[in-house]
Structure 1
Amino acid sequence: MQAEKIWKVSTGSGVRVAVIDGGVDPSSKALEGRVLPGKDLSGAPGDETRDESGHGTTMAEYIAGSGKDGSIKGLAPDAKIIPFRTTIKGMKGADTTKDNLGKAIRAAADSDAKIINMSLGGAPHPAVKEAVRYATNKGKLLIASTGNDAKKGNHDNYPAAYPDVVAVAATDKAGKVADYSNYSQHTVLSGPSVDLPAWCDGKKQKYCPGGGTSTASALVSASAALIWSHHPDWTSNQVLRVMIKTAGLKGDKPSKYVGYGEVRPRMNLLEGEGDPGDPDISPLTGERTLNTKPDKSSSEAKGSDKEAAPDKVKVADSEREGGGNSGLWVAAGAGAAVLVIGGGTALAIRRARRG
């Protein structure tokens, strides 16, 4: 990704990323001074800074880690992390009866985070779908992993498979889809993931070989932070549109394996490529999700200029057209939907069937 060159242009400064996971430990050397107060929606002892698995902390490090003392240096090292802890199966005292993922998404949407990273997934749930739409309409960019079960029986993974979410697949060192990465028509982008370090457990005493679509999602979120930091007046739709247009796969039709290809923030930050386009129209659905520009056909627009909503988006590049593996379970929603960090098995599993 030519990170060293990118960092001369953007380091993610001024952008806050919500990490919805099993918690983020701010005492990690890589995250010192980079984690802001968030919220615990899990019902487990402790708060959002308690991470028993190390997974959420690893994702946060890939986004904004400093690299201090041999730790992970994130792709957007000056971004800030806002953790939102959701229910993890196995958490002592955790509440597994409520839709905590949906609540976490809504809480993240109500925060000042611009990007919501969800390196987890599972079965569809109405409350989660509604929360995703709520966050989208508030101008948030939602990014989630597609899952790691391609070799075990491929399937859609949620929230990644919802239309308003950027579904991220994983690629190997050759830039091809990783053999475990779930694939579907919902795949939007992909990111590197194979053999990358991850905290082995909640004690965070050492890194072990890791990766998965979880890490790929985190790196896509970090890429968005870099671009948004450099273009602070853009909307989520414009940031994503540029990411799609500058991704590695040629052509306008996405692949079910890697989407539009590996994310390449350098193409915009170093080469100036990518047309941000309409600030209000989603590049995923073609629908209007925001209202930063006045609708000339509306009654409001027919009034005085003072009554019309100002176009606050400055389109700087409009003239250019740009070319996990964790097995931890997460319960979400009245015991009906089961999630896996990293996006593993996405079958709906009823609590009565467990054990």
Structure 2
Amino acid sequence: MLKRILPLFLLTLILSLSCSREDSMENQKIVIPENQKIPLTPAQINAKIDAAINSNGTFNWRQADSYLIWSAVVNGNNVVTIGFGNSKTNFERAKTSNNAKLQNDLLAIIMKYENTTLDKILISADTDLNLMDVIISKQETIIALRESKYIRYIEPGDYKYLAVRESLKGPGVSTNSNVGTSSGCGYDSEILDAADYTTTTPNAKIPWTFTQHNIPNAWNISTGSGVTIGIVDTGVSPNQSLLGANFNNGLSSGRTIQKNGVYVDSIWPWSTGTDGVNDLCGHGTSMASTAAAPRNDKGLPVGVAYNANLVTYRAAYNVVLDGYQEQEGVKKAFTALGNNTKVKIISMSMGYVFSVGKIEDAIKFAYGKGKLIFCAAGTSTSFTTFVGVIFPAWMPETLAVTGVKEGSTYQACSDCHTGSKVEFTVAMQRAVSGNTVPVSSYYENLTDYIGGSSVATATTAGIAALVWSKNPTWTRDQVLNKMRQSASLYPNKSAEYGYGNVNAFLAVQ
């Protein structure tokens, strides 16, 4: 009898001590050191982030101390994103039976330490993911929350690292909170050089890069019919009918384009009204054109998968996701695409310098739904020249794509990022002229050029649609393996260029 009672007694004692420890931690007074009662300045915060990037190649708020997090929160509208769950990998509401209790318990901690009511702290709670956005002003609140075993991460929700970085460059540089709003944007049109395209029936231009990847020959086998591509970007132009009323022009038929808007154009995180589905940047229009513009009779460039369906999301103002509304928009787009059973492929040619918890969660959510996700490895701007492959392209759930120059040897395009996370490349810069990829312009009946890892990503997503259309019963992994096997460097993987350029014709065999 003693042998049976002793283990039970020990177990009870351990549980009792554990509960007592948690209770004491919850009720103990949190003492803030004198030298941490005043928040760090934006310059000091950025310096710490930069030091981590220089040392580790990246930065993650999970590794930051509470003082740094609180300082960034204070310098970012006091907005905090909280990811919670029963474990570090428990991010999905549907797979968390007690998600409401976890959320309410954490909100109770915040109300206690902030000494306020629910309506003063809760901005929003995601319906698909175990995360919420709240208002927090006290460092004690952050410390108390981080002691909970149900916290997956706590991040400043609106600290604009890149805007601060730009403002620190010196006098004469804009300190606008939406700095970089022109990054990746442009409404310009340009007449195409005759050497950069060939013409095919009924009167469409085939971009030179398509020939490099054997896409025209692949069209004899597959045109993307029956596959839906989701594009997370800046929206689609209302002035380009080939991505609107004429989406089924020429040899493109029986398909649909669905446009959505989830971006809120406001500096205030609590604002909820979106600014619509239309592209106000130009970048999203170019990506949609690259992936799936119709094989038209108007003399404009055709897209890779010209019979695929499109579901587009205006998720951000531009390609640099620096701020609450940009990151929230991308999160919403990925969760919506994850829930859309018709979507098989997701392409995003936007990113950030370091990880964002809510975007990570949304991408994992979409990946868990079987989506094949392509993300741009990065194209240098004044905001991203100091990093390698950018977020979220480095995530294991995504496939990083970058651009290379035309030629028999691999050389990154003038502005393209490379690295070990790269999966595929696309030849998108001409060796002599330096011209990039022809696309339909923002405006009707006009053309333009688009380059970088952005166009490389949209091109690769289009090739994936050709493969999946040819093999509609395949899984994501089967499509991906076929693409790898058709790439020029397979079975070896380059440390900088992944498996290299995909041969679309071989991929649809």
TM-score by length of 1: 0.69
After superposition, give the CA deviation of every residue in 1:158-205 in whole Å (9 maximum; x if it has no partner): 1111111010011111152323211121111111222113566x5567
Tell me, in whole angstroms, the C-alpha distance in 1 between the residues paired with 2:344 and 2:402: 21
**Residue 337 of structure 2 aligns to a residue in which SS?**
helix
Report 1:165-314 matches (<5 A): 165-174=398-407, 176=410, 177-194=412-429, 195-198=436-439, 202-203=442-443, 206-252=446-492, 254-269=493-508, 272=509
Query: What is aligned with 2:287?
Result: 59
Figure out how many residues of one structure are paired with residues of the other and give that number: 265
Deviation, 1:208, is: 3.3
What SS is found at the alignment partner of 1:229?
Answer: helix
Q: Which amino acid aligns with 2:367?
A: T
Letter of the aligned partner of 1:197 in structure 2? Answer: P
1:130-167, Cα deviation, whole Å (9 max, x unpaired): 11111111000000110112993342301111111010
Secondary structure of 1:114's counterpart equals: strand
SS of equivalent to 1:53? coil
Q: How far did residue 29 of structure 1 move? A: 3.8
Cα 1:89–1:144 change in 2 (3 A) is closer
2:248 counterpart of 1:20? no
CA contact (8 A) 1:12 1:79 kept: yes
Conserved in 1, the CA contact under 8 Å of 2:440 and 2:446? yes
Are the equivalent residues in 2 in contact too, given 1:24–1:56 (CA < 8 A)? yes
Secondary structure of residue in 2 paired with 1:121: coil
In the alignment, which of 147, 152, 169 is matched to residue 385 of structure 2?
152
**Aligned-pair distance for 1:30?**
3.0
Work out whether 1:41 is the aligned partner of 2:262: yes
Q: What amino acid maps onto 1:173 in structure 2? A: E
Deviations 1:23-57 (A, max 9, x none): 02365243323553242110245422x01122111
2:470 partner amino acid: H
Query: Deviation of residue 261 (structure 1)?
Result: 0.8
- Match of 1:99, SS? helix
The answer on whether the counterparts of 2:231 and 2:347 sit within 8 Å (CA) in structure 1 is yes
Structure 2: gaps spanning 5 or more residues: 1-212, 248-254, 266-273, 430-435
**Corresponding letter in the other structure for 2:407:** A
Q: Which amino acid aligns with 1:96?
A: Q
Quote the sequence identity (%). Answer: 27
**How big is the alpha-carbon RMSD for the aligned residues of Structure 1 and Structure 2?**
2.6
In 2: Cα distance, 1:193 partner to 1:97 partner: 27
On the 8 A contact 1:64/1:81 being kept in 2, the answer is yes
* Alignment correspondent of 1:347: none
Is this contact kept in 1: 2:484–2:490, CA < 8 A? no
Q: Which residue of 1 aligns with 2:372?
A: 141
1:118 to 332, 340, 348: 348
Deviation at 1:229, TM superposition (A): 0.1
CA distance in 2, matches of 1:87, 1:36: 19
Q: Following the alignment from structure 2 to structure 1, what is the Cα–Cα distance between the partners of residues 402 and 324?
A: 30
Deviation at 1:265, TM superposition (A): 2.0
Q: How does 1:25-104 map to 2 (within 5 A)?
A: 25=237, 28-31=240-243, 32-33=246-247, 35-44=256-265, 46-48=275-277, 50-68=278-296, 69-88=298-317, 96=325, 99-104=328-333
**Residue-by-residue CA offset, 1:104-143 (whole Å, 9 max, x unaligned):** 1111111121100001111310111111111111000000
SS at match of 1:37: strand
- What SS does structure 1 have at the residue aligned with 2:325? coil
Does the aligned pair in 1 maintain the 2:232–2:313 contact within 8 Å? Answer: yes
Describe the shift of the 1:171–1:97 C-alpha distance in structure 2 as closer, same or farther (beyond 3 A).
Answer: closer
State the distance in 2 between where 1:89 and 1:54 align: 9
- Farther off after superposition, 116-125 or 174-183: 174-183
Q: For the structure 1 residues 256 and 35, does the alpha-carbon distance in structure 2 shift closer, same or farther, using more than 3 Å as the test?
A: farther
Contact 2:373 2:398 in 1 (8 A): yes
- In structure 2, do the counterparts of structure 1 residues 86 and 127 end up closer, same or farther at CA, with 3 Å as the change threshold? same
- In our comparison, the structure showing a higher alpha carbon Rg is 2
